[in-house]
């Protein structure tokens, strides 16, 4: 099932659970605005290259639209649409005053030089600068983008609108980025996992953990979970996969990845088939890369007891059903990875106030938000007798529906 069909399906199930009227359901589903732009840049060798960029602004009933920008060869309009919709429910689950958006450019950032990436980002910003803004739509990093990408967007946007640090989050600290934002999604994964395990009388220490994806989210999640005594027994990225049943030394792996630009060739573990990483024997599986990786073909062979969705939309609805029958507990993306956008919110607040928080305050506030989000989702599960995904969807959809009705927007 493609990402949009899957996200729409989960939304519709939640809407039914909540008894939303069909007009409201329709208006919540249709995106506010979909932008598609052509971005042509001169390459370093003087030839021209064209790319397609997207920004889908899904909903703004609760506040400015918010969400990352992804650079990846598989970016397509349906996927961006699904990811934008997920942002709407995610910001509502986190209870931060935003709507949802997502953007992307269909490109392979690994094939582009630093200056080509800068030119591409600036051209994309020139095409969308009138449609984003501090109080309309605030981009952030996602797969394939990083604080440097945000610095270029900020600079290009500021040429048209004056210096506006709050127009993007996930910026470098020197340009008004928040302390703790880089680690925030991974740290949020840690807090959400702790809250979930507590329900089962367990802690992180001693849990055998597998992480797919070792970029921003996966590497921080692995590092923070291992600091709490979790045993990271397998890790993969686009270059390969490694396994060590006694636990991978994450600090050494981070050093290796810095030098070799991937986990491949790491000497502190055995090399394994990256396609089998999700099926490794473990207690906790953390997909932290692409969407749709857990599907009807592999769900029955998953051995983990808990799946923490650090990536967006890693689990297909068909897989959800299979996992539920097997008794696997899935902590859904719109709760599990909401730490990133939550600290983005703190960054935006700091920029608007012109006042910087210290890192301890950022991390403490993040813990409060993640713990509250988990508690609110559990309450919805109890009210509607549903699993965590439906608990999270119904919580998010209900908050957005209430705001929509209060603003008098229903058709």
Ligand X SMILES: O=C(O)CCC(=O)C(=O)O
Ligand Y SMILES: NC(=O)C1=CN([C@@H]2O[C@H](COP(=O)(O)OP(=O)(O)OC[C@H]3O[C@@H](n4cnc5c(N)ncnc54)[C@H](O)[C@@H]3O)[C@@H](O)[C@H]2O)C=CC1
Which residues are CB-neighbours of 241 under 8 A, at least 6 positions away?
234, 235, 263, 271, 272, 273, 274, 276, 277
In angstroms, the CA 169 to CA 19 distance is 36
| 197/257 with CB nearer ligand Y | 257
Q: Which is nearer to ligand X, 94 or 380 (CB)?
A: 94
**Binding site partner of 213, from ligand Y, ligand X, none, Cβ cut-off 5-8 A by kind:** ligand Y
Q: Which is nearer to ligand Y, 20 or 171 (CB)?
A: 171
CB of 170 to ligand X, least distance (A): 6
Does residue 207 belong to the site contacting ligand Y (CB under 6 A)?
no
Q: Which stretch binds ligand X (CB under 6 A): 38-46, 199-207, 245-253, 340-348?
A: 340-348
The nearest distance, CB 273 to ligand Y, in angstroms, is 11
Using CB under 6 A as the binding rule, the residues of this chain from 266 to 305 that contact ligand Y are 274, 288-290
285 binds, among ligand X, ligand Y, none (CB under 5 to 8 A by kind): none
Among 85, 169, 178, 193, the residue binding ligand X under the rule CB under 6 A is: 169
- Which residue of 337, 350, 398, 404 would you call a contact of ligand X, by CB under 6 A? 337
Residues in contact with ligand X, shown as a per-residue x/- string from 53 to 72 under the rule CB under 6 A: -------------xxx----
3-state secondary structure of 108: coil
Q: Pick the piece of the chain touching ligand Y (CB under 6 A) from 5-13, 42-50, 138-146, 158-166.
A: 138-146
Q: How far apart are CA 215 and CA 219, in angstroms?
A: 6
Phi/psi for 213 (5° steps) reads 100, 125
Residue 173 CB, nearest approach to ligand Y (Å): 16
Q: Which of 66-85 are b and which e, b meaning 16 or more Cβ less than 10 Å from the residue's Cβ?
A: bbbbbbbeebbeebbbbbbb
Q: Does 344 bind ligand X (CB under 6 A)?
A: yes
Which is catalytic among the residues 23, 36, 102, 171? 102
Structure token pair of residue 104: 């992307």
Residue nearest to ligand X (CB): 68
254: exposed, middle or buried (Cβ count in 10 Å: 0-12, 13-18, 19+): middle
185 binds ligand Y (CB under 6 A): yes
238 binds, among ligand Y, ligand X, none (CB under 5 to 8 A by kind): ligand Y
Question: Which stretch in 57-65, 203-211, 214-222, 350-358 sits in contact with ligand Y by CB under 6 A?
Answer: 214-222
Measured from the CB atom, the residue of 122 and 171 that comes closer to ligand X is 171
Q: Name the one range near ligand Y by CB under 6 A: 26-34, 307-315, 348-356, 368-376.
A: 307-315
| Residue 171 to residue 194: CA distance in whole angstroms | 28
- H helices then E strands: how many in the chain? 13, 12
Contact between 144 and ligand Y (CB under 6 A)?
yes
**Smallest gap, in angstroms, from Cβ of residue 240 to ligand X?**
25
102 part of the active site = yes
Q: Residue 127: exposed, middle, or buried by beta-carbon count in 10 A (0-12, 13-18, 19+)?
A: middle
Strand order in the sheet with 48-59: 33-42, 48-59, 100-106, 65-72, 137-141
35 binds ligand Y, rule: CB under 6 A:
no
Detail the residues annotated as belonging to a binding site for substrate. 66, 90, 344
The site partner of 317 among ligand X, ligand Y, none (C-beta below 5 to 8 Å per kind) is: none
The DSSP bridge pattern shows strands 329-331 and 33-42 to be unpaired
CA dihedral 184, 190, 192, 195 (to 10 degrees): -140
Cα separation values, 107 from 112, 116, 196, 392, Å: 9, 11, 37, 32
How, if at all, do strands 33-42 and 48-59 pair? antiparallel
With H, G, I as helix, E, B as strand and everything else as coil, classify residue 204.
coil
Instruction: Tell me phi and psi for residue 251, to 5 degrees.
Output: -65, -45
- Given the rule CB under 6 A, which of 209-217, 294-302, 323-331, 388-396 is the region that contacts ligand Y? 209-217
Binding site for ligand Y (CB under 6 A): 141-144, 185, 212-218, 236-238, 274, 288-290, 310-312, 337, 340
- Give the catalytic positions in this structure: 102
């Amino acid at each position: 099932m493609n990402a949009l069909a899957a996200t729409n399906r989960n939304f519709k199930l939640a809407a039914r659970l909540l008894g939303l009227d069909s007009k409201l359901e329709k208006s919540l589903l249709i995106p506010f605005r979909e932008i598609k732009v052509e971005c042509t840049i001169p390459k370093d060798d003087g030839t021209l290259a064209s790319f397609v960029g997207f920004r889908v602004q899904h909903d703004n009933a609760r506040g400015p639209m918010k969400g990352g920008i992804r650079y990846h060869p598989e970016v397509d309009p349906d996927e961006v649409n699904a990811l934008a919709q997920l942002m709407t429910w995610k910001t509502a689950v986190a209870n931060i005053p935003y709507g949802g958006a997502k953007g992307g450019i269909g490109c392979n950032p690994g094939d582009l030089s630093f200056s080509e990436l800068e030119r591409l980002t600036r051209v994309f910003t020139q095409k969308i600068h009138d449609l984003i803004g501090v109080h309309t739509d605030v981009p952030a990093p996602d797969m394939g983008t990083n604080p440097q990408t945000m610095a270029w967007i900020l600079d290009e946007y500021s040429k048209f609108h004056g210096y506006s640090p709050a127009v993007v989050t996930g910026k470098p600290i020197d340009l008004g980025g928040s302390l703790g934002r880089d680690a925030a999604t991974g740290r949020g994964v840690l807090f959400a996992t702790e809250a979930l395990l507590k329900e089962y009388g367990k802690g992180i220490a001693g849990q055998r953990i597998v992480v797919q994806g070792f970029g921003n989210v996966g590497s921080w999640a692995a590092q923070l979970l291992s600091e709490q005594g979790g045993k990271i027994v397998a890790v993969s990225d686009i270059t390969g996969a490694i396994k060590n049943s006694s636990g991978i030394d994450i600090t050494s792996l981070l050093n290796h990845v810095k030098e070799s630009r991937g986990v491949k060739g790491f000497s502190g573990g055995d090399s394994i088939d990256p396609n089998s990483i999700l099926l490794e024997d473990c207690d906790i599986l953390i997909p932290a890369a692409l969407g749709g990786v857990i599907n009807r073909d592999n769900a029955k062979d998953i051995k983990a007891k808990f799946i923490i969705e650090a990536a967006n939309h890693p689990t297909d609805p068909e897989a959800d059903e299979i996992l539920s029958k097997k008794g696997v507990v899935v902590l859904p993306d719109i709760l599990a990875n909401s730490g990133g956008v939550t600290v983005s919110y703190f960054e935006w607040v700091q920029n608007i106030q012109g006042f910087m928080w210290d890192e301890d305050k950022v991390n403490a506030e993040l813990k409060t938000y993640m713990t509250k989000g988990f508690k609110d989702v559990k309450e919805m599960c109890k009210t509607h007798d549903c699993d965590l995904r439906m608990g999270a969807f119904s919580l998010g959809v209900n908050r957005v529906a209430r705001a929509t009705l209060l603003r008098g927007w229903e058709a």
